[in-house]
């Protein structure tokens, strides 16, 4: 029995059933909720509206799936794909679980699905102990528990995570004139969740040293560093100010000349500003230049598509088509010092690609070099990989090469309206569209159509993961030596 369960009739009944699921573990589709002999529907309160009063007693009938005795379950019959419904098809293909929309909560659902593609993040969450205490820590624990349930293939409502998000960040709990939750900006949610995880997911820098300090897991795998130089363009006497800056996202600025992601990323490396000059004794023009001095294993790129319009008081959207690649090379964005560190691994990738092409007898007949590399890449997905980080910087990127693994899109004209969806890489050319609880396999070509240019879903946040080299790959010289040893 549960006392003092809060019920808000401004929300649909399915939201209340989601709350009961969080309390009892009984899935909403297995619940029958009764009040004075009447069963509550999923879509409205009409038939029980007159019976809903403070202090009313409700009866929940239903059982958790794992509580059903096996002897009572019917024998399983062979099912063919064409006879399966969407839920059965999802289970058969082992597609990821979806998340129920609890009323304009697609921004949260899409963010959670994108985060889930980072195995190191999930591992760190599993190391997080407990689930009580301040709401801030409980929010991280709720994400951990949500992923554990999703890993069992269960589509569910993220009720507890949403409630804690509202407690920690009240602006996400804002309601509209009709009483329902207002739509929120998905990137703001992304940034705030990252901040919470940064505070609570920490590991020792040197696990074998009991006196070792700790470092945030988020900084380890998502942290960007820039070397900056700020120079006054009106005074040669004023010294150049050098510093370092740290970010968890790389902003892609869009202007009339930007047509591709690469040029938008380069825009980020130069800033013009006006500030007081101590030498000139007045405001003067400055130019700030940046170079990446540390690449993270996972690179988050925010497409800066929203601009606040004072007249309409909305974040208006830039719909321009900006092409983004599946394979991203960030070498040209880096400082000379970092570039020197990336060269050895980049040479390994070149040697690997050359060896694939040389060993493929059917390159000319079946699509050439690109086809051979694509086939090898798909085969590599099941292999053990070499570390993707620099030897003295765990969690960094040691080549400058990235592969797209998740896209968060927005459909609409304002960040506080419309709809958000996550698109995540599955395997090969297959991706998954995670549209709340509607989870569908799609082809990679559909992902490349998310670049913008109209009212269709437009890429808002891109998540790139590290390109990896198979552990069993050897340089041609190393292979020759091993062959000589075998012959001798």
Asked if 194 and 248 touch (Cβ cutoff 8 Å), the reply is: yes
Asked if 279 and 341 touch (Cβ cutoff 8 Å), the reply is: no
d(CA 163, CA 169): 10
Task: Please write the tens of the pLDDT for every residue from 272-307.
Answer: 999 999 999 999 999 999 999 999 999 999 999 887
Q: Across the chain, which distance is largest between two alpha carbons, in Å?
A: 91
**pLDDT in 10s for each residue of the chain, 488 residues:** 666 677 777 666 776 776 676 667 677 767 888 787 688 887 777 887 777 777 788 878 777 655 544 443 444 454 444 455 555 555 555 788 999 999 999 999 999 999 999 999 999 999 998 765 568 899 999 999 999 999 998 889 999 999 999 999 999 999 988 888 999 999 999 999 999 999 999 988 777 777 778 899 999 999 999 999 999 999 999 999 999 999 999 999 888 889 999 999 999 999 999 999 999 999 999 999 999 999 999 999 999 988 776 666 677 788 899 999 999 999 999 999 999 999 999 999 999 988 888 776 554 555 667 777 777 776 667 778 999 999 999 999 999 999 999 999 999 887 778 999 999 999 889 999 999 999 999 999 999 999 998 888 999 999 999 999 998 876 555 444 444 554 54
Spatial CA neighbour of 125 closest among 134, 106, 112, 109 = 112
Name residue 241's beta-bridge partners: 230
Q: Where are the beta strands (DSSP E) in 306-457?
A: 306-309, 314-317, 327-329, 401-411, 419-427, 430-435, 438-443
pLDDT the model gives residue 22? 60
pLDDT the model gives residue 117? 97
Spatial CA neighbour of 327 closest among 367, 351, 299 = 299
pLDDT the model gives residue 464? 98
Neighbours of 100 (CB within 10 A): 20
Task: Please write the tens of the pLDDT for every residue from 459-487.
Answer: 999 999 999 999 887 655 544 444 455 45
Show which residues are catalytic: 106, 419
Q: Where are the beta strands (DSSP E) in 295-400?
A: 299-303, 306-309, 314-317, 327-329
Q: Where are the beta strands (DSSP E) in 364-473?
A: 401-411, 419-427, 430-435, 438-443, 458-466
- Spatial strand order in the sheet of 59-61: 38-39, 32-35, 59-61
φ and ψ at residue 257, rounded to 5 degrees: -95, -10
φ and ψ at residue 24, rounded to 5 degrees: -115, -20
d(CA 116, CA 34): 36
| Whether this model's pTM surpasses 0.75 | yes
Spatial CA neighbour of 200 closest among 112, 134, 105, 103 = 134
d(CA 401, CA 120): 18
Instruction: Indicate the DSSP class of residue 119.
Output: H
Domains of the chain, with CATH numbers?
1-68 (3.10.20.90), 105-488 (3.90.70.10)
pLDDT the model gives residue 177? 85
């Amino acid at each position: 029995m549960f006392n003092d369960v809060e019920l808000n009739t401004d929300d649909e009944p399915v939201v209340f059933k989601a709350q009961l699921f969080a309390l009892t573990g009984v899935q909403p589709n297995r619940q029958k909720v009764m009040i004075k002999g009447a069963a509550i529907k999923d879509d409205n309160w009409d038939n029980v509206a007159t019976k809903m009063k403070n202090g009313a007693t409700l009866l929940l009938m239903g059982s958790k799936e794992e509580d059903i005795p096996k002897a009572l379950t019917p024998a399983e019959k062979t099912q063919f794909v064409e006879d399966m419904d969407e839920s059965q098809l999802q289970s058969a293909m082992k597609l990821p679980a979806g998340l129920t929309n609890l009323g304009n909560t697609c921004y949260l659902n899409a963010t959670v699905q994108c985060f889930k593609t980072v195995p190191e993040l999930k591992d760190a969450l599993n190391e997080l102990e407990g689930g009580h205490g301040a709401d801030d820590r409980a929010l991280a624990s709720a994400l951990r528990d949500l992923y554990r349930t999703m890993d069992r293939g269960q589509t569910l409502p993220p009720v507890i995570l949403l409630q804690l998000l509202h407690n920690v960040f009240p602006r996400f709990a804002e309601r509209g004139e009709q009483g329902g939750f207002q739509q929120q900006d998905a990137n703001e949610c992304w940034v705030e969740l990252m901040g919470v995880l940064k505070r609570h997911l920490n590991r020792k820098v040197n696990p074998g040293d009991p006196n070792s300090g700790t470092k945030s897991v988020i900084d380890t795998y998502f942290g960007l560093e820039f070397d900056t130089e700020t120079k006054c363009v009106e005074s040669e006497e004023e010294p150049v100010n050098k510093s370092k800056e740290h970010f968890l996202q790389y902003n892609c600025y869009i202007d009339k000349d930007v047509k591709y992601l690469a040029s938008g990323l380069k825009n980020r490396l130069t800033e013009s500003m006006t500030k007081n000059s101590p030498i000139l004794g007045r405001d003067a023009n400055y130019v700030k230049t940046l170079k990446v001095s540390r690449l993270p294993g996972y690179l988050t790129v925010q497409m800066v598509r929203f601009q606040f319009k004072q007249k309409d008081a909305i974040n208006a959207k830039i719909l321009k088509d900006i092409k983004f690649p599946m394979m991203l090379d960030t070498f040209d964005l880096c400082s000379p010092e970092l570039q020197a560190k990336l060269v050895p691994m980049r040479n390994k990738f070149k040697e690997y690609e050359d060896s694939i092409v040389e060993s493929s007898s059917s390159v000319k007949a079946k699509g050439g070099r690109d086809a051979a590399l694509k086939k090898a890449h798909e085969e590599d997905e099941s292999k053990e990989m070499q570390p993707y980080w620099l030897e003295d910087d765990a969690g960094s990127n040691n080549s400058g090469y990235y592969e797209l693994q998740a896209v968060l899109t927005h459909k609409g004209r304002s960040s506080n309206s419309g709809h958000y969806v996550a698109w995540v890489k599955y395997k090969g050319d297959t991706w998954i569209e995670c549209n709340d609880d509607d989870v569908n396999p799609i082809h990679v070509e559909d992902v490349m159509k998310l670049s913008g240019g109209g009212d269709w879903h437009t890429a808002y946040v891109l998540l790139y993961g590290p390109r990896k080299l198979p552990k069993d790959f050897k340089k041609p010289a190393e292979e020759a030596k091993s062959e000589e040893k075998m012959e001798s």
